[in-house]
A and B are shown apart, each in its own frame.
Chain A
Amino acid sequence: MTRSQQIAYEPAHLEIERLTVVYGRRQVLDDLSFRVEYGERVVLVGPNGAGKSTLFKALVGLVKPQSGAIRIHGLPTGAHQDCVAYVPQREEVDWRFPVTVTDVVMMGRFGRLGWFRRPTRADRAAVERGLGLMGIAHLAHRPIGELSGGQQQRVFLARALAQEPHILLLDEPFTGVDAATQEATLSVLDALRDQHVTIILSTHDLGLAAARFERVLLINRRLFGDGSPAQALRRELLAEAFGGQVLTLPDGSVLVDQCACNQPEPESIVVK
């Protein structure tokens, strides 16, 4: 089997080795190393400004690392075009743009289509599958401007599914969405695990991370904890990663204050 055939058929594994990213003078990621196996499901937690979004952007090649290496299928990023799908935070696009839900999900196929090939039946089928999995087939011809926040999130996810990725990256998919969308997303992630799609998801919700994921990465510029929720979300590790934003209550539970200076409402999460 040739290298490119291997890439086409094997689920991906991901290696990050001593990754350092610098924006101007600020070091956003510092000597970060970890490895994610085939079809593993990992949740990324850490305070605001911990570099979670930056890590995702480095993984898809949007941010150039200062040093270190990212290898997917053992190859550097850029060697394979469409095996990583990235679901960015919802604010990153203009939702008043005159496109329908189907138009947006079809964009997920553009990477495979290349520059001038027209979408085939297979592409349209992938789009329909994505819409169906996210439960938004009935919205297919709606303009995106008419959707609620949860529906917008589902459109983004349907687009990522239409890409048929080996690795799926989701940046804060549960921020500002309804409970039904959160559950729909989690059950799609369960289905993807059966197809050995590697998933990395970031969230503010430590309770959810502990309840629904088997592996947690606790980061704040560098790696503070890596393992099962019980191992990675230990009180002393949280205190280290979140710095002064952690309060230990008398009953032994830990209160994490996620307040960032630019957010008016502090968001507090209790971990037992």
Chain B
Amino acid sequence: MNTLWSWIVAPLAYGFMQRGMLAAMLVGVLCAIVGCYVVLRSMAFLGDALAHAVLPGVAIAYLMGTNLTVGALVAAVAVALLISFFSRQGAIKEDTAIGIVFAAALALGVALISSVRTYAVDLSHIMFGNVLGVSPADLWLIAGIGAAVLLTVLAFYRQFLVVAFDPVLAATQRLPVERLRLLLLLLIALTIVVSLQTVGVALVAAMLVTPGATAYLLTRRLPAMMAVAALIGAVSSISGLYLSYYINIASGAAVVLVATAIFTVIFLAAPGRGMLWRGGR
């Protein structure tokens, strides 16, 4: 018992580990809850695209010597607006618009970053996260933006529900469907930006989609789905960090692998919807 306790407590002796744990847990919960809409509206590709699209913002902020998170924020909002603008014209489909904007932003980001000398190291931090480098100021930023996003999701719960489930009904009730879609897009963008530090550009899409998809298999109502997803997000984040500490692997990757392992188990064994359950009948 004593050894288990010390096994759990040992990493927390370091301030950077404490901050890392807290940041990872906040991001895990936030991504999971916002991610439920990403799963239900089939926006996984959009989430991935938004994540990659913040690269030029980060690069420009880096070159200008300003705060990287602010740079990412500006870029994510700009890309969300661009995608919404292109697809609303009706000339091309939404996923085509996403593909174009996403690749262009990624190329611009790589081009900008490659002009800096310490290219490889910085790029890998942005791509895969650096949760152990979270400063107290970063932690406050994550907590602040995360709280704002969650409050918005809660306040507009009913509107987001109708727009996601039945946009026709939403329109007959004179809800501003397009504006609510854009608001959801902005919330996803904000979530991605605060997740960069912990899981990075390449893996944030997994944190958006995997806990929500797992919770979908276990629940039958949206509030329950969000709660279960949040729990899975938090558990994956914390156990991922322990894994990363003890077997010395990249933290972002460890978090995503734990989340994927949970998904796989549930996918096979979920009551009612899992493969084993259906196969056994």
Is chain B a partner of chain A in the same complex? yes
The answer, yes or no, to whether A115 is at the interface (CB within 8 Å) is yes
In the assembled complex, the CB of A101 is this many whole angstroms from the nearest CB of chain B, namely 11
Q: Most chain-B Cβ atoms within 10 A of its Cβ — which of A78, A82, A104, A110?
A: A110
Evaluate contact between A60 and B172: CB separation under 8 angstroms.
Answer: yes
In the assembled complex, the CB of B42 is this many whole angstroms from the nearest CB of chain A, namely 9
Per-residue CB contact flags for chain A residues 101-126 toward chain B (1 = under 8 Å, else 0) read 00110011011010110000000000
The answer, yes or no, to whether A98 is at the interface (CB within 8 Å) is yes
The answer, yes or no, to whether A188 is at the interface (CB within 8 Å) is no
In the assembled complex, the CB of B229 is this many whole angstroms from the nearest CB of chain A, namely 11
Which residues in B have their C-beta under 8 angstroms from that of A159? Answer: 169
Partner of A143 from B162, B173, B220 at Cβ < 8 Å:
B220
Evaluate contact between B168 and A110: CB separation under 8 angstroms.
Answer: no
Evaluate contact between B221 and A98: CB separation under 8 angstroms.
Answer: yes
Given A88-B168, A116-B155, A98 and B173 contact (CB-CB distance below 8 Å): no
| Bound complex: CA A171 to CA B159 (Å) | 24
Which residues in B have their C-beta under 8 angstroms from that of A98? Answer: 40, 216, 219-222, 224-225
Which residues in A have their C-beta under 8 angstroms from that of B140? Answer: none
In the assembled complex, the CB of B34 is this many whole angstroms from the nearest CB of chain A, namely 16
In the assembled complex, the CB of A167 is this many whole angstroms from the nearest CB of chain B, namely 12
The answer, yes or no, to whether B7 is at the interface (CB within 8 Å) is no
In the assembled complex, the CB of B185 is this many whole angstroms from the nearest CB of chain A, namely 19
Q: Which residue of chain A is the closest to B155 with respect to CB atoms?
A: A116
| Bound complex: CA A97 to CA B37 (Å) | 11
In the assembled complex, the CB of A198 is this many whole angstroms from the nearest CB of chain B, namely 16
Evaluate contact between B166 and A107: CB separation under 8 angstroms.
Answer: yes
Q: Which residue of chain B is the closest to A117 with respect to CB atoms?
A: B158
Evaluate contact between B174 and A97: CB separation under 8 angstroms.
Answer: no
Which residues in A have their C-beta under 8 angstroms from that of B158? Answer: 110, 113
The answer, yes or no, to whether A1 is at the interface (CB within 8 Å) is no
Which residues in A have their C-beta under 8 angstroms from that of B174? Answer: 61, 78, 81, 111
Per-residue CB contact flags for chain B residues 140-157 toward chain A (1 = under 8 Å, else 0) read 000000000000000100
In the assembled complex, the CB of A114 is this many whole angstroms from the nearest CB of chain B, namely 10
Which B residues from 117 to 164 make CB contacts under 8 A with A? 155, 158-159, 161-162, 164
| Bound complex: CA A93 to CA B168 (Å) | 9
| Bound complex: CA A98 to CA B273 (Å) | 13
Per-residue CB contact flags for chain A residues 50-80 toward chain B (1 = under 8 Å, else 0) read 0000000000111000000000000000100
Evaluate contact between A61 and B172: CB separation under 8 angstroms.
Answer: yes
Which residues in A have their C-beta under 8 angstroms from that of B168? Answer: 62, 86, 88, 92-93
The answer, yes or no, to whether A186 is at the interface (CB within 8 Å) is no
Evaluate contact between A103 and B172: CB separation under 8 angstroms.
Answer: no
Which residues in B have their C-beta under 8 angstroms from that of A81? Answer: 173-174
Evaluate contact between B165 and A86: CB separation under 8 angstroms.
Answer: no
Evaluate contact between A107 and B162: CB separation under 8 angstroms.
Answer: yes
The answer, yes or no, to whether B81 is at the interface (CB within 8 Å) is no
The answer, yes or no, to whether A84 is at the interface (CB within 8 Å) is yes
The answer, yes or no, to whether A265 is at the interface (CB within 8 Å) is no
Which residues in B have their C-beta under 8 angstroms from that of A100? Answer: 220-221
Partner of B171 from A61, A82, A93 at Cβ < 8 Å:
A61
Q: Most chain-B Cβ atoms within 10 A of its Cβ — which of A60, A84, A108?
A: A60
Binding site for B on A (CB under 8 A): 60-62, 78, 81-82, 84-86, 88, 92-94, 97-100, 103-104, 107-108, 110-111, 113, 115-116, 143, 159
